[in-house]
Amino acid sequence: MSVKTPVLSRATGLVLGLVALGLVALLSLAVGARSIPLSTVLDVLATRDGSDSAFVVWELRIPRTLIGIAVGAALGVAGALMQALTRNPLADPGLLGINAGASAAAVLAISVLGVTDLRAFVWFAFAGAAVAGTVLYVIAGRTGASSVRLALAGAAVSAALTGFTQAVILVDQNALDQMRFWTVGALARADMATLTDVAPFLVAGLALAVLLAKPLNVLSLGDDVGRSLGAHPGRTQLLTLVAVTLLAGAATAAVGPLVFVGLVAPHMVRVFTGPDERWVVAYCAVFAPALLLLADVLGRVMAREEIDVGVVTALLGGPVFLVLLRRNKAVRA
């Protein structure tokens, strides 16, 4: 019985998380520059009646909410995978060089090629993320690199790419002006077309993540123990890197580099789930988007002008994270 209870409560927590995500999503449809009563939201969701409220909900807020959910889930899960793979609490999807790669490609597109079309921008950023992920894999070693090597190689690739990005924006003020808005990360500029562009990558990445949770669990005991239990460290590592690149690359391409969610959401949920990666991934897929959406909603009402979700997530999630950390007696060296 003592074994069964935590599983049950973890399942309950997951259901509660889904309910919370649903509520926040509704809130996200209702709140904004033009606030719409919840009853009206439900009405126009049922029948698209051509009123102004219906237009706002269907054309602006549904895409934004869906993107928030998709991106939040992707980043949270990618962060969980990354921390499991490198066995390093400082790891986040950005460590793969994904953010740096996307930023470098984005700045290249703006400054050298003069791209202004948002949709082309998405593809550049995604390509940059993918290239960075591949370079990292080649450097770290093709067959089962140690977690420390992987982490260091990621830091090295990120630093080199960031240096490039910095050099360009320091010389080209126009690029600096565009990049500073992109770097914060915002849901406001994303539209339905962006979502359909990146959706296949997100779905593929999430599916991979579900399959990888169990092998990663086994490997958390160390490569040697894992191997003797039938795991394949090299294969798991490659697939995890692919999954993280797909998830974080697509998310970053869609809304810009949101650092906080991928880094901290896994730590937050681990306080409740314990170290089992299957639960960590499931919780991240539910709670990370809830956190992101809530931050987006608050960002719309906190000040007269909207505050970007990248700023609010960290402002809101940071203190929560610190409180959880202080109350959690299980955090040991």
Going by C-beta distance under 8 Å and a sequence separation of 6 or more, which residues neighbour residue 105? 124, 125, 127, 128, 129, 131
Report how far Cα 175 is from the mean position of its chain's Cα atoms.
25
Contact 205, 70 (CB under 8 A): no
Among 141, 192, 210, 220, binds other proteins (CB under 8 A): 141
Query: Alpha carbon of 107 to those of 118, 134, 155: distances in Å?
Result: 13, 19, 20
Integer Cα distance of 245 and 241 in angstroms: 6
Query: Alpha carbon of 267 to those of 9, 10, 124: distances in Å?
Result: 19, 16, 31
Is the Cβ of residue 36 or residue 95 nearer to other proteins in the bound state?
95
Which residues inside 39-68 make contact with other proteins, applying CB under 8 A? none
User: Pattern 92-131, binding to other proteins, x per CB under 8 A?
Assistant: ---x------------------------------------
The window from 28-36, 101-109, 143-151, 194-202 that contacts other proteins (CB under 8 A) reads: 143-151
Report how far Cα 280 is from the mean position of its chain's Cα atoms.
14
Is the Cβ of residue 57 or residue 241 nearer to other proteins in the bound state?
241
Which residues inside 273-312 make contact with other proteins, applying CB under 8 A? 307-308, 310-312
Residue 83 CB, nearest approach to other proteins (Å): 11
Residue 222 host element (H or E): none
Integer Cα distance of 59 and 137 in angstroms: 40
Among 25, 96, 169, 239, binds other proteins (CB under 8 A): 169
The window from 35-43, 46-54, 108-116, 167-175 that contacts other proteins (CB under 8 A) reads: 167-175
Torsion angles phi and psi, residue 230, rounded to 5: 95, 10
321 binds other proteins per the rule CB under 8 A: yes
Residues that bind other proteins (CB under 8 A): 88-91, 95, 138-141, 145, 148-149, 151-153, 155-164, 166-167, 169-171, 173, 176-177, 180-181, 183-184, 259-260, 263-264, 267, 307-308, 310-315, 317-319, 321-322, 325-326, 331-333
